[in-house]
Structure 1
């Protein structure tokens, strides 16, 4: 399987590259900064420089040619303002969907966030509120297209850098909680290999169920 990951230098993306490479799959990471190429190569991925805030849809579609799936794991990151939450967390996800459509890639996994349903509560930090709104807008675009394609939205809870447990809770709605980035990467891999999860919005936190069993128990979309 050839998988292209947007936000290729992010923590979840690099862990996912390693998971893919460990299975003998081909991982391609889209990066903004060419200085990050060596880190992707070390993670077992093929780096491709494509700034999602500036690349055109045709050029991006060219980078997706021959892919079996795309994963949007990009984010504006800590320290960015509300404007970049929109240009990265929303607009770049939409751009990737446009490019996937042009390239004929049917499988699209969107890494979103828990807490995007409804308006952010009163008193929410302005930038974090913008982040939640951007993630929800990206979800709405990807899931609302009149296309015969296979999307899955994954909404992790609070992310940690703890070692993976291999045990999770995965469902349409789950109680708030934390999950390791390494477990998120493993869940992404499992979702890629489980076509029944297409058409699903799934929330994810740590839990007691082995990842393979949790993914297998998701009702068909």
Structure 2
């Protein structure tokens, strides 16, 4: 299975690439800078060089040729201003959807965020409000695509622990935190669970094994 990950040098992306390579899949990651390529090859992924903030959909579609799935894991990151929340977290996600449609890639996994909403109100932090709105708008744009088998994954507060392999995954869960390692594990499982297409799922640490939680989210209850 060939999976192309936008934002291929991000923390979750690198963990996902290692998981996919370890199980015999063929991950590829889109990166902005050539010096990031070594980290991807070390993770077992093919580096693909492209700036998602300036690329056109037909060029990105060329990189997606032959892919079975795409994952949007890009983000402007901490410290970036409101403008880049829109050009990366929103616009690049829409660009990936456009390119996936052009390339005939149906499966699309979106890493979003709990609280994402195109009309979010967060007056105490304008940049964070813009982030939530950008993520929400991207989610809405992807969910409107009939040509895509999309799943929107909305993790809670991200932490850097080793992962427990135990999560809560459902349409709505109480707010909480989740290790990036567990987010990556859930994404890897979602790629093998077509029953989760068309679902928006929230994710936090919990007490259910990842595979079991994803299976249940896909409509398999034992």
TM bucket by the smaller chain? over 0.9
Query: Cα 1:96–1:211, aligned 2, differ >3 Å: closer, same or farther?
Result: same
Give the structure 2 partner of residue 177 of structure 1.
176
Query: What is the distance in 1 between the residues matched to 2:218 and 2:16?
Result: 24
Cα displacement string for residues 127-163 of structure 1 (whole angstroms, at most 9, x for unaligned residues)? 1110000000000000012x23210000000000101
Query: What is the distance in 2 between the residues matched to 1:81 and 1:166?
Result: 34
Query: What is the distance in 2 between the residues matched to 1:20 and 1:186?
Result: 9
With normalisation by structure 2, the TM-score equals 0.96
Query: What is the distance in 2 between the residues matched to 1:104 and 1:202?
Result: 24
Query: What is the distance in 1 between the residues matched to 2:18 and 2:80?
Result: 27
Give the structure 2 partner of residue 71 of structure 1.
71
Written as runs of structure 1 = structure 2, the 5 A alignment for 1:1-221 is 1-117=1-117, 119-145=119-145, 147-220=146-219
Q: CA RMSD in A?
A: 1.1
Query: What is the distance in 1 between the residues matched to 2:153 and 2:70?
Result: 13
With normalisation by structure 1, the TM-score equals 0.97
Q: Secondary structure at the match of 1:174?
A: coil
In structure 2, the gaps of 5 or more residues are none
Query: What is the distance in 2 between the residues matched to 1:88 and 1:117?
Result: 16
Q: For this pair of structures, how many residues does the alignment match?
A: 219
Query: What is the distance in 2 between the residues matched to 1:4 and 1:118?
Result: 26
Query: What is the distance in 2 between the residues matched to 1:124 and 1:14?
Result: 33
